[in-house]
């Protein structure tokens, strides 16, 4: 049984009093909002006052200053806050003053939603406000908003607690309006990407989330069960193989904003459910994709900030194209002193041991190289840098390098020490692709639970012929972290994954 606080009990009593007065605290009828707080505060003046004689606003009550027969309240709508002047004789023109004396003064609480009809004006202190002619209760709140508390010189604000912020994002958005700006910018990032690819003539598409094979990446999947078909299904770890099927089908360029799911650890840059934008373009290669990606990120920075320089923590990151290019082997040699280009698995294990990198016995050559790069190199690339030309063992879906034996035409974009994008010249040789899948099966048999399955239908699609193609995946969550200067992936997700809440 839920135990109510004193404030929650009082609010429920007020709710009942509203019912007793014949007032519906949750009316169903449309409320005719015709303006916003920001528009009024931005555009009201003596010259424009005639346009603001019949304004209708709605929002949450954030504060009330009672002055007897009049009061000032602040309401917060979807875009900002504005002061409202409420005078008893204006909203209660007859003899019955109960709407003001009882409903407004005694039964209204902070965080209740109200509607205001009136006109805009400027107070003697110079603040643009709304003079109310009519108020309407639109929703009674039964739980008080958190407030800043002070004790023995220390200030406690419940909404700075990450546990509270992430679990009750709806409260965080009310108390900390600046949080909303992060998510508005996230939407602008995605819209900029859409506009960019649409202008290239590419088509936004959708591919399955429930898949019979978890393909397109090396990751541990989430598994579910389809009762009607009596078969296991996997939540998508990547949408790559389905998008490339569409290139086989004749589309010149396709892209998708996809929710992907990987049954892995959680930290400041990983959430088991995350958003990726993947794009595939026929008749292109990874060199074209690097140039295109530079242009895209430069455009995003300019759209959001009006400059290519973005502040991330104490670092100034410049997204002005072109970006630096460094090969995978060059990066490892630069930061470890080891030239691993010709090393076999045993030699790589020895390098890991000398570098103090713990590796699992089931790791193959690709995983060993990945561990070395991740531990010793990745964090050094703060300014946008393309890490290029990966070993073939690390990239089972990538075309072999046209001039460098043992490598593939792949790049990852590193910014602020983290991978933001991953791209290839796509492997379109069905014989080579089958052999790469079979190598993945051998890794799976060794115990690698992130190795790829063989997707026979995808192989069949390649056998019909796929043109030369380049593809890229961009992590929207991490890109948003960069562009909005947020330190954690949880800060750019409305509802990040969390452990079940302990019920009191």
Residues that constitute the known binding site for Mg(2+): 412, 419
**Helix/strand/coil (H/E/C) assignment for every residue in 14-73:** HHHHHHHCCCCCCCCCCCCCCCCHHHHHHHCCCCCHHHHCCEEEEEEEEEEEECCCEEEE
Q: What is the C-alpha end-to-end distance of the chain, expressed in Å?
A: 9
Helix (H) or strand (E) segment spanning residue 6: helix 6-20
Distance CA 279, CA 476 (A): 13
Per DSSP, the residues of 329-389 read HHHHHHHHS---TT--HHHHHHHHHHHT----TT--HHHHHHHHHHHHTGGG--S-EEEEE
Residues at the binding site are: 412, 419
Which alpha helices (DSSP H) does 162-317 contain, by range?
A: 162-167, 169-175, 178-199, 240-248, 286-305
* Cα–Cα distances in angstroms (integers) from residue 98 to residues 18, 89, 91, in the given order: 11, 11, 10
Closest CA to 483 of 384, 369, 370, 342: 384
Give the CA dihedral 306, 182, 311, 197, nearest 10 degrees: -50
* Cα–Cα distances in angstroms (integers) from residue 436 to residues 112, 393, 397, 459, in the given order: 61, 8, 8, 11
Distance CA 386, CA 327 (A): 8
Closest CA to 432 of 408, 451, 403: 408
Distance CA 420, CA 418 (A): 6
Q: Are strands 253-261 and 273-282 parallel, antiparallel or unpaired?
A: antiparallel
Distance CA 134, CA 126 (A): 23
Distance CA 17, CA 140 (A): 12
Closest CA to 104 of 83, 129, 134: 134
Question: Angle, nearest 10°, between helix axes 345-355 and 365-376?
Answer: 30
Distance CA 154, CA 80 (A): 29
Q: Do 129 and 119 contact (CB within 8 A), yes or no? A: no
């Amino acid at each position: 049984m839920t135990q109510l606080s004193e404030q929650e009990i009082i609010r429920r009593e007020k709710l009942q009093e509203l019912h007793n007065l014949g007032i519906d605290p949750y009316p169903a009828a449309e409320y005719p909002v015709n303006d916003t707080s920001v528009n009024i505060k931005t555009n009201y003046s003596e010259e424009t006052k005639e346009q603001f004689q019949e304004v209708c606003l709605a929002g949450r009550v954030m504060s009330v200053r009672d002055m007897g027969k009049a009061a000032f309240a602040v309401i917060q709508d979807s875009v900002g806050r504005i002061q409202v002047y409420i005078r008893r004789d204006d909203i209660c023109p007859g003899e019955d003053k109960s709407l003001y004396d009882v409903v407004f003064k005694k039964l209204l609480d902070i965080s209740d939603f109200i509607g205001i009809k009136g006109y805009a004006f400027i107070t003697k202190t110079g603040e643009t406000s709304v003079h109310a002619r009519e108020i309407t209760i639109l929703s009674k709140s039964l739980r008080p908003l958190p407030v800043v508390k002070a004790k023995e010189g220390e200030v406690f604000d419940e909404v700075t607690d990450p546990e509270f912020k992430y679990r009750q994002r709806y409260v965080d958005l009310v108390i900390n309006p600046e949080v909303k700006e992060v998510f508005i910018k996230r939407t602008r990032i995605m819209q900029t990407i859409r506009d960019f690819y649409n202008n290239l003539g590419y088509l936004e598409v959708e591919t399955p989330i429930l898949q019979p094979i978890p393909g397109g990446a090396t990751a541990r999947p989430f598994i579910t069960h389809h009762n009607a078909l009596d078969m296991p299904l996997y939540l998508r770890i990547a949408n790559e193989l389905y998008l490339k099927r569409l290139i086989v089908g004749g589309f010149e360029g396709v892209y998708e904003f996809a929710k992907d799911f990987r049954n892995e650890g959680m930290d400041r840059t990983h959430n088991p459910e995350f958003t990726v934008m993947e794009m595939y373009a026929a008749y292109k290669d990874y060199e074209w994709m690097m140039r295109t990606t530079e242009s895209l990120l430069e455009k995003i920075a300019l759209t959001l900030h009006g400059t290519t320089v973005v502040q991330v923590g104490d670092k100034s990151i410049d997204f002005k194209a072109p970006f630096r290019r460094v090969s995978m082997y060059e990066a490892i040699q630069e930061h470890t002193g080891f030239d691993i280009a010709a090393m076999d698995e045993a030699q790589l294990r020895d390098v890991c041991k000398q570098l103090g990198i713990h590796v699992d016995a089931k790791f193959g050559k690709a995983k060993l190289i990945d561990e070395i790069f991740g531990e010793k190199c990745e964090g050094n690339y703060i300014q946008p840098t393309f890490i290029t030309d990966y070993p073939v063992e690390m990239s089972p879906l990538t075309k072999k390098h046209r001039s460098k034996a043992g490598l593939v035409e792949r790049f990852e974009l590193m910014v602020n020490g983290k991978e933001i994008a991953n791209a290839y010249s796509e492997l379109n040789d069905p014989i080579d692709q089958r052999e790469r899948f079979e190598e993945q099966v051998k890794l799976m048999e060794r115990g690698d639970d992130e190795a790829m399955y063989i997707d026979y239908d995808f192989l069949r699609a390649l056998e019909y012929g796929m043109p030369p193609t380049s593809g890229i995946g961009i992590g929207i969550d991490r890109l948003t972290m960069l562009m909005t200067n947020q330190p954690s992936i949880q800060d750019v997700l409305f509802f990040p994954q969390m452990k079940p809440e302990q019920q009191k």
